[in-house]
Copies of this chain bind each other. A is one copy, B any other.
Amino acid sequence: MDTKQVQLQYSFCLKDYVGDSAGLTSPEILGLSDRLKAALRSLDARRKQGHLGFADLPNAEGDVKDIQKLAARMKGKIDDLVIIGIGGSALGNIAVQMALNPLYWNQMSAKERKGWPRLYVMDNVDPEPLSALMKVINPKKTFVNMISKSGTTTECWANWSILRTFLEKKLPKGKLNQHLAITTDPLKGPMREWATREKITSFVVPENVGGRFTVLSSVGLLSAACTGVDVQQLLQGASDMSQRCWNAEIMDNPAAVFTAIHYLAYQRGRKIHVFLPYAQSLYGVADWFRQLWAESLGKKLDRAGRTVEVGPTPVKALGATDQHSQIQLYLEGPQDKLVTFMFLQNEKTVLKIPKDAPAPLGGHTLGNVLKAEGLATRAALTEYGRPNLSFWFPEVSAYTLGQIFFLLEMSTALMGELFDINAFDQPAVELGKKLTKSLLSGQPADQRLFKDNPSHYV
């Protein structure tokens, strides 16, 4: 076995461990084999037709070399890298940064950052974070990466319009475009036209990869490369995991086992799927997964057009912090959750607790205490009859991060097959976009939806 493999451990969701009423059995998981094999075949057929772009990203040439060249040019010259993107054009970037660079990266000196820039992700349309950003960046040493697959994302344009004005005032005339890279559709949309017209550095979001599956495309790789992350190792991890996730031997396929267990749990009323990393560095992965799982699987209609209103609610939590916030509920509340831990086999940074600390802490490392709290919390969940899974990371590295990204993307695709829904669209979000445009242009599409009763205020 490759000792750098991320592994899924599933003992503690079984009847033998959590009891008959909450637990599953291995035969039940195996019982989904035929459906999962069919799902794999169906996905592979679509992949071959070019409709499953995310699955090819780990081995795609893509823009990797150009991104690495840009990163090399940025090193030592750019202090502040600003990503303007939202949803799938931000969550992966944040997850990579949180996992692989120190928590207070932006406060470290350029030397400590080895010349790589600070990183800011503007993933909202809120004046507070944007004005805070403009207080701390140095325009002359700022580089902006605008990311929008369609090229039309309102939030990106709103942020850019303001930031552009701020930068233009401080930069020599005509230099703005040298501080900008655009990541968008290869052929169409207003950002592609703009990049072509003004010869702005640009990268491609492949047409057949949906926003929430783009972390391993230029979308996620640019900010990763520019903050010193080994993007080849990210892709290698994903590529190696991809081998495991196409395995038709279901019990050897971690995506298939993860999916089968979540599907069975869902069918039995466990519709809340908690991701609980015992590593602050992996909290961003939980947030990234939250979009993937919710937006892909939350659907009104199945593929035959029947109303199903299906979809698990993903919840991000953090060990050990949330032991003092959520664990009481997870232990004693309704039996409506499946908890997935993420554990590190070995800590990255070794901090020794002095021997004179209160027992039993003295002599342990801090990572050891964190792991003990995680294992104890898992044991408590098990004792309370609450099924749970564990991912084990041999380390937090670009290589293991690439693995977990691919594993969870593939699980999402498989879960869509079991639910018999389209996991790759998001039909409902259009209404909100339409209504926003109506409001801003002064013509509410449907006054009725905005009218309330003034007596309903307390």
Residues of chain A having any CB pair with chain B under 8 Å: 7-12, 14, 17, 86-88, 90-91, 102-108, 112, 123-133, 135-136, 152, 154-155, 157-159, 161-162, 164-165, 190, 211, 251-254, 257, 271-272, 279-281, 290-291, 294-295, 297-300, 309-311, 313, 315, 318-321, 323-337, 347-354, 356-362, 364-370, 372-373, 375-377, 379-380, 382-384, 392, 426-429, 431-441, 446, 449-450, 452-453, 456-458
Cβ of A10 and Cβ of B446 under 8 Å apart?
Answer: no
Cβ of B108 and Cβ of A324 under 8 Å apart?
Answer: no
4 nearest CB pairs, A to B: A87-B324, A298-B329, A311-B333, A376-B435
- Check A279/B126 contact, CB under 8 A, given A155-B320, A257-B458, A349-B131: yes
Cβ of A452 and Cβ of B9 under 8 Å apart?
Answer: yes
- State which of B136, B162, B377, B450 has its C-beta within 8 Å of the C-beta of A379: B450
Cβ of A432 and Cβ of B323 under 8 Å apart?
Answer: yes
- State which of B9, B90, B321 has its C-beta within 8 Å of the C-beta of A123: B321
In the docked arrangement, what's the CA distance between A12 and B448, Å? 12
In the docked arrangement, what's the CA distance between A106 and B280, Å? 19
| Closest Cβ neighbor of A134 among chain B residues | B351
In the docked arrangement, what's the CA distance between A452 and B370, Å? 20
Cβ of A440 and Cβ of B361 under 8 Å apart?
Answer: yes
- Check A440/B372 contact, CB under 8 A, given A135-B112, A280-B128, A456-B10: yes
- Check A428/B311 contact, CB under 8 A, given A102-B135, A439-B372: no
Min Cβ gap A227→B in Å is: 15
| Closest Cβ neighbor of A359 among chain B residues | B441
Cβ of B373 and Cβ of A432 under 8 Å apart?
Answer: yes
- Complex interface: chain B residues within 8 A of A298 (CB): 328-333
In the docked arrangement, what's the CA distance between A357 and B427, Å? 27
- State which of B357, B364, B429 has its C-beta within 8 Å of the C-beta of A323: B429
In the docked arrangement, what's the CA distance between A149 and B450, Å? 46
Cβ of B351 and Cβ of A127 under 8 Å apart?
Answer: yes
A to B CB contacts below 8 Å, 22 in the list = A7-B458, A8-B458, A11-B452, A12-B452, A14-B456, A102-B128, A102-B131, A104-B135, A106-B107, A127-B348, A128-B279, A130-B351, A158-B369, A190-B358, A257-B458, A298-B329, A298-B332, A299-B332, A309-B335, A311-B333, A313-B313, A372-B440
Min Cβ gap A340→B in Å is: 13
| Closest Cβ neighbor of A381 among chain B residues | B432
Cβ of B313 and Cβ of A329 under 8 Å apart?
Answer: yes
Cβ of B14 and Cβ of A295 under 8 Å apart?
Answer: no
- Complex interface: chain B residues within 8 A of A165 (CB): 354
Cβ of A428 and Cβ of B331 under 8 Å apart?
Answer: yes
- State which of B128, B310, B392, B450 has its C-beta within 8 Å of the C-beta of A348: B128
In the docked arrangement, what's the CA distance between A382 and B428, Å? 13
| Closest Cβ neighbor of A165 among chain B residues | B354
Cβ of A280 and Cβ of B162 under 8 Å apart?
Answer: no
- State which of B133, B157, B251 has its C-beta within 8 Å of the C-beta of A104: B133
- Check A360/B440 contact, CB under 8 A, given A123-B321, A125-B370: yes
